[in-house]
Amino acid sequence: MDDRAGAATATAGAAGRFATRIFSGIQPSGGLTLGNYLGALKRFVQKQEEGIEAIYCLVDLHAVTVWQDPARLRANTREAAAAFLAAGVDPARSLLFNQCQVSAHAELAWIFNCVARMGWLGRMTQFKEKAGKDREAASVGLFAYPNLMAADIMVYHATHVPVGEDQKQHLELTRDIAIKFNHDFGTDFFPVVEPIIEGAATRVMSLRDGTRKMSKSDPSDMSRINLADDADTIAQKIRKARTDPLPLPESLAALDGRPEARNLVNIYAALADLAPEAVLGEFAGRGFDAFKPRLADLAVAVLAPISARMAGHLSDPAGIDRLLGEGAARAEAIARPILEATFAIMGMIRSRRG
């Protein structure tokens, strides 16, 4: 996890002739987790506070690559929007909307379906994991998923994409698509994006198994902390989190082979805005009986105000829908000319008026 290197490339890299613009997305396929918060949402707010133009999207078209219950999808989309607002994303400064309201995403995704190669997509580890053994039964959408992700980003000419570690391979594919499109049409129309993967929590792991990612789709609710969990539930999940009998060591290297211990240290560090080394500096020599209550207190102190604000936003679903609609209209105004220019580069006639 070399966060500094990532950040350095981000500033030195993609900008070129393109103004710095951030895009990122979260699937509304379930309640958001601590992993989504530390790996993504918290950092989205930081980027906004740095004054960088940012576009944030609830990617419902991605969510439906596996079947979603319609009522749940609607509720999850509003809950995710509420989480963005509660975490500090300010719709007056950053764009916030849901993907299906800006059809340019799906249109550019089709173009990228024709640019990306089957072999590239077949190598995506997330597809292999999600499709499991029976690939023939996976939806075509699940296979083509990274092309839509590339379209999400490039339809805004975004230059930087803050994400957790698990999205790195998809962003490499996004870069490959930009390079191939530019090459095939003899242009430099699409920027080659830079991922921003930084901080102590780029990969928050399950509380039950330190070798698996914390995920909203894990069947065990005890494996994750949900942003909507109340204080007692958060404390109980941390108390029951799997650990080992050893005390915490002095150096990070001594956490090798102790994935659960490393994960809890990283979570503490990210919640407290400390380096993991500083956390060890404070707790070295002490066992989890001492560490876990402190972690639980910290997690509750950070998350309880967020979940309270979420509940406030969720009491006005019509307000959330209105806000998403307004965000979508502003997003559309940026995306449409870029899509039209793409069609023009490709020789497609667009003569319809009105």
Q: Quick check: is 213 catalytic?
A: yes
23 binds ligand TYM (CB under 6 A): yes
Interface residue with ligand TYM, options 14, 21, 31, 36 (CB under 6 A): 36
Catalytic residue among 42, 130, 133, 292: 130
Q: Quick check: is 130 catalytic?
A: yes
Q: Quick check: is 216 catalytic?
A: yes
89 binds ligand TYM (CB under 6 A): no
Catalytic residue among 47, 133, 180, 213: 213
203 binds ligand TYM (CB under 6 A): yes
Interface residue with ligand TYM, options 116, 124, 192, 204 (CB under 6 A): 204
Distances (CA, A) of 160 to 83, 175, 197, 275: 22, 11, 10, 24
When the beta carbons of 26 and 250 are compared against ligand TYM, the nearer one is 26
Least distance from ligand TYM to the Cβ atom of residue 294, Å: 21
207 binds ligand TYM (CB under 6 A): no
In the block, tokens 């379906």 appear at 113
Which residue's Cβ has the minimum distance to ligand TYM? 39
When the beta carbons of 166 and 209 are compared against ligand TYM, the nearer one is 166
Catalytic residue among 168, 216, 237, 240: 216
- Which has the closest alpha carbon to 112: 188, 167, 63, 175? 175
Q: Report the distance separating Cα 33 and Cα 350, nearest Å.
A: 43
Least distance from ligand TYM to the Cβ atom of residue 206, Å: 8
Residues lying near ligand TYM in the complex (CB under 6 A) are found at: 23-27, 35-36, 39-40, 59, 62, 149, 152-153, 161, 163-164, 166-167, 170, 201-204, 213-214
Active site residues: 130, 213, 216
